Amino acid sequence: MNKEHKPITVFEHESLRTNRGEQRLTNGQLEALQLFYGENGVPYYSLIHHGVRFNEYVGVIQVGRTVIEVLPKADKANPNDESIKNTWRNVLINMLHAVGIFDIHAPSNSNLRLRSNSILDLYFELFIKEVEYLLHRGLVKKYRKTEGNRTALKGSIQFAKHISQNLVHQERFYVRHTTYDKEHDIHAILYKALKLLSYINTNVQLNSRLGALLLDFPELYDIKITEALFDKIVFDRKTEPYRNALEIAKLILLNYHPDVNRGTNNVLALMFDMNVLWEQFVYVSLRRHKASATSIAAQNAKNFWKPLSGYRSKMKPDIVLNKGTEDCVVLDTKWKNLNGYNPSPEDLRQMFVYMKYYGAKKVALVYPGAENRNQSGQYYDHSSQDSKHLSNEECSVISIGVEKDVKAWQKIIHENISNWCQLQEIV
């Protein structure tokens, strides 16, 4: 494999440079990342001297033909160990599956072989499998309106345009008519995604399948890809099977950034905020095992402050259990390993406010860790003059060890939080 095209794997908060390190960026790759960063920046990484430093975002960034894979990490294991990289790669893929970022249980993906090359390969294979499934079912036809010059009278004549264009071509008619065929926007989107994948894919195992799809798929008109284009798609009984393929096409097409200045080293970024992903993962894990009597709400917003003019300020804890009851519990998730240190004062203050405003019986910060560990701490009683006495108001720190088996991990999350809650409804 060409050295420039060899995949690069790093962990969050690590750096890549052009002038040092076992894994290095080429000058061209760094220039592409700098251009992609632009004046307004991107949250995925920060620019440093001769390189970039990755933030709390994970996933893949493809620069030209080189895939940079950024993995999560919540332990002290040797980051250069290939088995550690494989473990965290699988953890990330399992977390994305669990929260529904992509669905491997769709009928078209029943025999999907999940590879550990990168998340990008996984997305590409998912898309290919979805399109293969659609072709096997048969592509749907839709009605569309067309107009133009025709040699036969079909539909309705557009007199103004007919007169202006056909004074010397009396054998032609400028008409508008309705056509029922496979040439519509949904297929144009999928065709554009297939063309893009054939250009940027670096996995040789997928090349033949991409080539076969491009031969079997009808060649369609070019279409401008925007968020609004996907928003106006309405699914019905006939087009519902297209949903998964379109979701992946949207993800890929909207995140592909051609380098218009150089024409090389185009950038495709599929990155996920680990703080958001951890929050969603804890939430779905609790919902998966919750008792019917337990209510669980994510991002439950409450009005907090109102200025004399302008918008109100809201507070949104990550997870609220049994909202509105005396057994109300508030959880806030944080994707970082405390490594034995206390939470930040800002996080503790935030939990104090949640406790007061929600009337919560208990509040806790939930972190990943090397092992399962619950630690409780109490706030000081500031109603007294000297503020030296502790109150009955406590905030706990729950660390949950990372498991390779996602179902076992979800069960452990539920058990740890349930045991800490000591609420009959949650057990």
Task: From residue 30, give the alpha-carbon distance in Å to each of 138, 199, 263, 269.
Answer: 44, 21, 15, 14
Mean predicted lDDT score pLDDT of the chain: 84
- Quote the CA–CA distance of 413 and 368 in Å, as a whole number: 10
5: buried, middle or exposed (CB in 10 Å: 19+, 13-18, 0-12)?
exposed
- What is the number of helices (H) and of strands (E) in the chain? 11, 19
Task: From residue 304, give the alpha-carbon distance in Å to each of 307, 315, 321.
Answer: 10, 6, 19
- Quote the CA–CA distance of 93 and 116 in Å, as a whole number: 9
- Quote the CA–CA distance of 40 and 212 in Å, as a whole number: 41
Question: Where are the chain's structural domains?
Answer: 3-138+185-273, 142-181, 290-421
Helix H segments across 108-184? 119-137, 159-165
DSSP 342-383: PPPHHHHHHHHHHHHHHT-SEEEEEEEESS-EEEEEEEE-TT
- Quote the CA–CA distance of 122 and 93 in Å, as a whole number: 9
At residue 202, the pLDDT reads 84
Strand partners for 316: none
Q: CA torsion 10→13→19→20, rounded to 10°?
A: -70
Query: Above pLDDT 90, what percent of the chain?
Result: 41
At residue 180, the pLDDT reads 65
8 Å CB contact between 177 and 146: yes
Task: From residue 243, give the alpha-carbon distance in Å to each of 126, 127, 134.
Answer: 12, 11, 11
Question: Which of helix, strand or coil describes residue 277?
Answer: helix
8 Å CB contact between 156 and 175: yes
Structure tokens at 344: 């930040």
**In angstroms, how far is CA 216 from the centroid of its own chain?**
30
- Quote the CA–CA distance of 298 and 332 in Å, as a whole number: 10
- Contact partners, residue 333, CB within 8 Å, separation at least 6: 275, 278, 279, 282, 318, 319, 365, 366, 367
pLDDT in tens, the chain (427 residues): 455 567 899 999 999 999 988 899 999 999 999 999 988 899 999 999 999 999 999 999 999 888 999 999 887 777 778 888 888 988 998 899 898 876 544 444 434 444 446 788 888 998 999 999 999 999 988 776 767 676 666 766 766 776 677 766 766 777 776 676 678 899 999 999 999 999 888 888 899 999 999 999 988 888 999 999 999 999 999 999 999 999 999 999 999 888 655 556 789 999 999 999 999 999 999 998 877 777 888 877 777 778 888 888 887 888 998 876 778 899 999 999 888 789 999 999 999 999 988 888 889 999 998 889 888 888 888 776 666 788 888 899 999 998 888 899 999 999 999 889 875 444 4
8 Å CB contact between 365 and 374: no
Structure tokens at 383: 């109603």
Residue appearing with tokens 């998340």: 119
Residue appearing with tokens 């179902």: 407
- Strand 8-11 relative to strand 66-71: parallel, antiparallel, unpaired? parallel
At residue 351, the pLDDT reads 92
Structure tokens at 124: 């590409």
- Contact partners, residue 103, CB within 8 Å, separation at least 6: 97, 109, 244
Task: From residue 372, give the alpha-carbon distance in Å to each of 348, 396, 398, 418, 419.
Answer: 20, 13, 8, 13, 12
- Contact partners, residue 5, CB within 8 Å, separation at least 6: 65, 66, 202
Residue appearing with tokens 């493809």: 62
340: buried, middle or exposed (CB in 10 Å: 19+, 13-18, 0-12)?
exposed
What pTM value is reported for the model?
Answer: 0.81
